Amino acid sequence: MVDTGDTAPDFSAPLANGDLGETFTLADRLDEAPIVLAFFPGAFSSVCTGEMRTFQDRLGAFADAGASVYGVSVDSPFALNAFREDNGLEYDLVSDANHDVVDAYDVGMAFDKLGIDEVAKRAVFVVDGDGTITYAWESDDPGVEPDYDEVEAAARDAA
């Protein structure tokens, strides 16, 4: 996993923002920093839904900190758009269906119980305007959610 102090791996991937065809490129979004990248295993699963809704509930606090929030999973942009709409998420999601971002951040894991070779671990990174990771957290247990107060404080510190 990349860690605090590392340069955030740049990437381009499809953006699920209600439309199709737009791409998210980290280097092009650094003016939105701090950027919170919240990796999650899969849309429509109970814990992931709870996590993404919690980020939605706290979106105002992240905006007050000057931060932009993006969810990242290996789901297709079609699934992520449906997930976003069903849950009233006002922030964008990044589709890493090719697993390039998960691999670059070294946060992939197998979900053996479901027979899935690779999903994203639950992980959160805060990236500052220089492209440096100022906060890194990951869990090997997909049932564990991040400490949202800690993530919010890290976003405020990176502003």
> Which residues face 33 on adjacent strands?
none
Tokens 């295993």 sit at which residue?
Answer: 41
Q: Is the dihedral of CA 151, 127, 68, 153 positive or negative?
A: positive
Residue 80 falls in which region: left (phi positive, over 0), alpha (psi -120 to 50) or beta = alpha
Q: Which one of the listed residues 35, 48, 124, 126 is annotated catalytic?
A: 48
Contact indicator for 4, 134 with CB cutoff of 8 Å: yes
Contact indicator for 124, 146 with CB cutoff of 8 Å: yes
How far apart are alpha carbons 87 and 92 in whole angstroms?
A: 12
DSSP H helical ranges for 35-147: 46-57, 59-64, 77-86, 100-104
48 tagged catalytic? yes
Which residues are known catalytic residues? 48
